[in-house]
Amino acid sequence: MTAFPDTLVIDSATEACSVALLRAATAGSEVVAGSWQMLGRGHAEALVPLIAALPARGRAQRIAVALGPGSFTGVRVGLAAARALAFAWDAELVGYPTLALLAAQARAEAGAQPVTIATTGGHGEWFVQDFDTDGAATSPLASLAPAAAIARGGAALVAGSQAEALVAGRSSGTALPLWSDARAFALLSPATLTERTEPLYGRAPDARLPGGRLPEAAG
């Protein structure tokens, strides 16, 4: 395997679904091909055809997949596809946090500055997390009711699917509506990547086993 292998990126953790094929270049990575769709639902049906439409049907030496948080089903669909392809192709498999990619996208669009990411969570809650100018997380990932997310403060710049709602609730700040995009993968710091491809659900599961135990799949 080369030091900078070609990479297939799979991101189906949010309402959007995207894939990208990246090739190592002198100054980093360049996008060979990719696509992005706003689905809301239906990631399981859309993801494989998106990958198959890429050059060489998306085959790469490394596969990077969004770990969440986001849609419970979307996260699991992306992970299942990534794991299956990594096994079939004997490819390296890495994961990345969805909110870290959104923070990188926000820096690329609005300049290097602190940013609070606010995205749609489950049961009416929002996933929120703060990042510094270099893209490092400065607060724990949290799943909060909108009122609590608004009251917690954060950076003046807010990005993500709930950015406009959070800024409106604060009555201050700048909103940057964004959804994660696999084609922006090269913006991530390599330190963000992890070989532990465990899903980041961002909140405790609703269902519990008898005796109050959490399901093992919830992590």
- Ordered by start, the domain boundaries in the chain are 7-98+180-210, 99-176
The predicted pLDDT at position 199 comes to: 94
Same fold, 7-98+180-210 and 99-176: yes
Terminal CA-CA length for the chain: 31
pTM of the full predicted structure?
0.88
Q: Which residues neighbour 60 within 8 Å (Cβ) at sequence distance 6 or greater? A: 5, 6, 7, 8, 21, 89, 91
pLDDT at 91 (0 to 100): 96
| CATH node for 99-176 | 3.30.420.40
Q: What is the pLDDT of residue 26?
A: 56
Average pLDDT of the chain is 89
Distance from C-alpha of 159 to C-alpha of 111, rounded to nearest angstrom? 12
Q: What is the pLDDT of residue 204?
A: 57
Q: How confident is the model at residue 203 (pLDDT cuts 50, 70, 90)?
A: low
Average pLDDT of span 77-101 = 97
Share of the chain above pLDDT 70, in %: 88
Q: What is the pLDDT of residues 92-109, one digit of tens each?
A: 999 999 999 999 999 999
Q: What is the average pLDDT across 140-164? A: 97
User: Cα angle at 144 between 166 and 182, to 5 degrees?
Assistant: 70
User: For residues 123 and 128, what is the distance between their CA atoms, to the nearest angstrom?
Assistant: 15
Which pLDDT band holds residue 3 (cuts at 50, 70, 90)? very low
Q: What is the fold of 7-98+180-210? A: Nucleotidyltransferase; domain 5 (3.30.420)
- Give the Cα separation of 137 and 192 in Å (integer): 10
> What does the pLDDT read at residue 215?
43
What pLDDT digit, counting tens, does each position of 122-145 carry?
889 999 999 999 999 999 999 999
